[in-house]
Structure formats: C-alpha cells, structure tokens
Amino acid sequence: MHTAILKEALGGNTKSLARCISFIENEVQGYEKLLETLPVTTVPVTGITGPPGAGKSTLTDQLIHLLIEDNKRVAVLCIDPSSAFHKGAILGDRIRMSRWYNNKNVFIRSLAGKGSLGGLSPKVIEITDLLKAAAFDHVIIETIGVGQNEIEIAGLADTTVVVLVPEGGDEIQTMKAGLMEIADIFVVNKCDRSGADTFVKYLRNMLAPAFSSKQQEVPVIKTAASKNEGIVALYEAIKLNSSLQFSLQNRVRLYAQKAYLLITKNRMKDIDINDLQKDITVKMQEEKFNLYSYLKNFKQG
C-alpha cells in the first residue's frame, strides 16, 4: 500500500504526499522502506531561522510569491512549538501564508517541534527528502525561532538565512557563535524601523572575523517583508548561493551532517530520561555510586 501511495505522492498528488508525511512523522510500520526507495535529487533547500518576532513567516510568504512568479513549485515546512496536551503544532493554521493553501503549486505543512532544542522537528530530514523527490522545485523550512540552538538547520539546508531585526543588538551579543557562523545570508528585517542602518553596520563589524575564514563574504540584506521591500534582493542571493552548493564537496559535507544527525537520533531512540531516573534511583541505594562508572557500564550494556 505504501508503495502505491508514494508513487502518487511523487507524481504530484498532494493528498498522498500528506499521508506519506504522516507515515514518516508517526513512524508507521514500513516507513523506513518508503524512505529507502526515494530517488536522489538536487532540489535546493532554504532554511529560514532566527529569534521569535523577526518576521520569518512574513518573509517566507513573500519568497513563496517570488517562486510562484518564477514558475516554481514550492514546498514549505513550518516547524512550530508543540502543544503540551496533544503534542501537535500549535500554529498549524499559519494565517500569514493562508493565501497559498489553494494554490496547486504550493504545499505547506506544519510540523511540531516536540521539544527539539535544534528548532526542528524530529523527522524533518526524512520529510524534506520526501518533498525533494515529490516534483517540487524548491523547499523552504522555517524553524521555531528558539534563537541560540538552531544549528541543526545547517545540516539540512543548502542555504541558511538568519533573520534579525534592528532592535536585536543585545540579542546578537548573546547568540552562540555557531548560529552566526551557519548563516549563508543575513537578513535585517523590519528595516523601515529607526536604527536599521546602524544595526546593519554593527552586524557587519560583528561578522568581520567570520568573513575572513569564508571563501566569500556573507551578504547582509535589508528587508521590510510586510511592505515587500528587499525581497527580490534576498531571492537573488538565495538563488546565487544555491547554485554554488551542488559541488561534490558540498554535497558530501551535507550528506555527512545529515547522516550524523540521523545516526545520533537513532542511537538515542530507546533512551528515556524517566527510565534513567528510575535506574539511577535504584543504583544510588548502593553504597558507592559513581556516575562515570555507571555510564561506562551503560555503554557496554
């Protein structure tokens, strides 16, 4: 049954595609076999990340518009916070992108982050590969916006766009260096606000040491997504960066990062913190409890 549904999904049937995504997300029996049959593609993936309130959804909406004008079919994954009750995506309606839901060339799916510190959904790598195989020309992933912990997006996207706002000076100082280093493009959104030019200059100065270690300077683009300003420049920068990412060296790097994340996730699958707590409670009744001896025995077991 999964084979027939997958064939329909790869042929452009959105209902079958949605079912395949659910199979993967819920780990329905046979989903791994489904993944093993996916063809290899070079569809570009753009990750949009940054702190909450930076305007990532509005920016994504405007990028969809340009992709559609460019006669592209686009898939969008919106990674949202999880409900504490039903574990589903809280912002599943995505009002800012509602104009695209009936467009045959746009597919939008909200995924629950389920507490992931990396700002992504646990099955986002697999679902992205499914979308890349499903006759789309471009895939966009918008992360939760947890700020400092979204490094995982670099292991998934060909182009990582980090979105900031002019008031984010203090935010930049508290960001982990990793988030600053993963950016292929920086966007200063809401640049119609006062202090935008000063903030851009400040950001460039902050990034100067990182630029020296890169082959090319990371662009910093000013946008006002709600007014559709600067979006064309951003789209052109994304296309340029994507065209540079399909060398063998870059593809090997990306596959290695994805493999590392998947292997780590699979090896941690059967480890539950509540089970660890119960086991350690028992072990601590012993006269001598040493955490590192416990971990050594745990690894061997």
pLDDT-derived band at 136, boundaries 50, 70, 90 = very high
Q: What is the pLDDT of residue 208?
A: 73
Q: What is the rounded CA–CA span in Å between residue 181 and residue 154? A: 10
Query: What number is the average pLDDT over the span 116-138?
Result: 81
pLDDT value of position 1: 52
Return contacts of 29-38, CB within 8 angstroms, 24+ apart. Answer: 30/2, 31/2, 33/2, 34/2, 34/3, 34/6, 35/126, 35/129, 35/130, 37/3, 37/6, 38/129, 38/130, 38/133
Give me the count of residues in the chain: 301
What's the start-to-end Cα distance of the chain, in Å? 38
Of residues 48, 46, 45, the one with CA closest to residue 57:
48
Tell me the pLDDT of the chain averaged across its residues.
Answer: 82
Neighbouring C-beta atoms of residue 261, cutoff 10 Å: 17
Q: Give the mean pLDDT of 63-92.
A: 75
Look at residue 233 and tell me whether its pLDDT is greater than 70: yes
User: Domains of the chain (ranges plus CATH)?
Assistant: 1-37 (no CATH), 40-266 (3.40.50.300), 273-300 (no CATH)
Residue type, 217: E
Q: What is the model's pTM?
A: 0.82
Q: DSSP characters for 220-265?
A: EEE-BGGGTBSHHHHHHHHHHHHHTS-SHHHHHHHHHHHHHHHHHH
What pLDDT, on the 0 to 100 scale, is given for residue 177?
A: 56
| Chain-centroid distance, C-alpha 87 | 19
| Model confidence at 89: pLDDT above 80 | no
pLDDT at 29 over 70: yes
Among the listed ranges 92-96, 105-109, 229-233, which one has the minimum average pLDDT value? 92-96
Predicted pLDDT of residue 48: 93
Average pLDDT over residues 125-141: 94
Q: Please state the rounded mean pLDDT for residues 27-50.
A: 90
More confident residue, 142 or 51: 142
Among 74-83, 128-137, 143-152, 242-251, the range of highest mean pLDDT: 128-137
Q: What is the pLDDT of residue 291?
A: 86
Residue 244: name the closest of 184, 166, 192 by CA: 184
Question: Which residue did the predictor score with more confidence, 248 or 53?
Answer: 53
Residue 74 is predicted with a pLDDT of 97
Closest to 222 measured CA to CA, from 153, 278, 164: 164
**Cα 199 from Cα 213, distance rounded (Å):** 23
Residues 103-126: tens digit of each pLDDT: 999 999 988 755 444 445 678 889
Predicted local confidence at residue 133, as pLDDT:
94
In contact, 87 and 71? CB cutoff 8 Å: no
> pLDDT over 90 for what percent of the chain?
38
pLDDT at 84: 43
Q: Give the pLDDT confidence score for residue 21 in this predicted structure.
A: 94
Q: Is the pLDDT score of 37 beyond 50?
A: yes
Cβ atoms of 39 and 133 within 8 Å: the answer is: yes
Report the distance separating Cα 287 and Cα 232, nearest Å: 67
